[in-house]
């Protein structure tokens, strides 16, 4: 007698789609890879640029800290820069001022030749730095940053404490690229009574004096103050970087 509560193997229909799933076609795979490639191509350069910008800011802050500490130690021992040498602008006085300022910088090395590469400004034009970076006043920090200086205004202390003794040039990575003012080449000032000031710093509220003019004259190297205070390099977005100022931080 046939069991009405069971079904024979022969009468049971085979299960549907067991172990079967639809595979992607070659065209679908290629389209997906193409989309991924476009996204990567669009995002990776931006991520790299932002990373490089952050690294530049960190390095510049480090150099500023080293210079500030060096100045504090020098002033404690020798008083203000007007007392560091005679008021004459000579190579000997340049060396005296530089050696006093850098005396307490640890693990520095002297560089006597081929210390700096050829630089360009933010427009791609080759810079003529003249006597701003004499080799005999150049040191290399342990992280590879190169510092040099020139002090032509030792007699100008009568103009006030904020008036510079001279510029201090900083290349954050030495002979490595990009060797462009405002990207890896920056400036500070040794002043007569206010220590080390970033070039282009907004010393007085709503005053562009220390930015306008020096941007064109120093070709971007005086964005130091902006970078340190605002922790960005937004001026690099501008085709004409001289339009970017404290009161008008825009490329328009």
Is 7 domain-assigned? no
Please give the DSSP secondary-structure letter assigned to residue 73.
H
* Number of folded domains that form the chain: 1
User: Looking at the whole model, is its pTM more than 0.85?
Assistant: no
* Cα angle, residue 111 at apex, residues 108 and 113 outer, rounded to 5°: 175
Predicted confidence at residue 214, as pLDDT, reads: 46
Is 132 domain-assigned? yes
Run means of pLDDT, 10 residues per run, the chain, 252 residues: 52 56 77 82 74 93 97 96 88 92 95 85 78 73 93 75 85 91 92 89 58 54 90 89 81 83
Is 128 domain-assigned? yes
Quick one: angle between helices 26-78 and 91-102, nearest 10?
110
Domain that holds residue 221: 26-243
């Amino acid at each position: 007698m046939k069991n009405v509560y069971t079904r024979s193997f022969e009468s049971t229909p085979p299960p549907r789609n067991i172990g079967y799933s639809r595979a992607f076609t070659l065209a679908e795979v290629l389209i997906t890879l193409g989309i991924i490639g476009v996204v990567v191509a669009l995002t990776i350069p931006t991520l790299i640029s932002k990373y490089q910008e952050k690294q530049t800011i960190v390095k510049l802050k480090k150099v500023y800290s080293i210079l500030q500490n060096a100045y504090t130690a020098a002033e404690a021992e020798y008083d203000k820069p007007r007392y560091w040498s005679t008021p004459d602008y000579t190579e000997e006085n340049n060396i005296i001022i530089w050696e006093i300022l850098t005396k307490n910088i640890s693990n520095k090395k002297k560089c006597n030749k081929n210390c700096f590469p050829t630089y360009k400004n933010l427009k791609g034009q080759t810079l003529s730095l003249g006597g701003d970076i004499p080799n005999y006043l150049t040191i290399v920090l342990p992280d590879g940053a190169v510092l040099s200086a020139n002090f032509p205004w030792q007699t100008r202390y009568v103009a006030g404490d904020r008036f510079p003794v001279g510029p201090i040039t900083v290349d954050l990575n030495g002979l490595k690229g990009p060797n462009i003012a405002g990207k890896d080449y920056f400036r500070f000032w040794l002043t007569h009574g206010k220590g080390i000031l970033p070039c282009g710093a907004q010393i007085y509220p709503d005053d562009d004096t220390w930015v306008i003019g020096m941007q064109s004259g120093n070709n971007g190297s005086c964005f130091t103050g902006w970078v340190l205070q605002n922790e960005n390099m937004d001026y690099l977005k501008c085709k004409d970087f001289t339009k970017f100022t404290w009161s008008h931080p825009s490329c328009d």
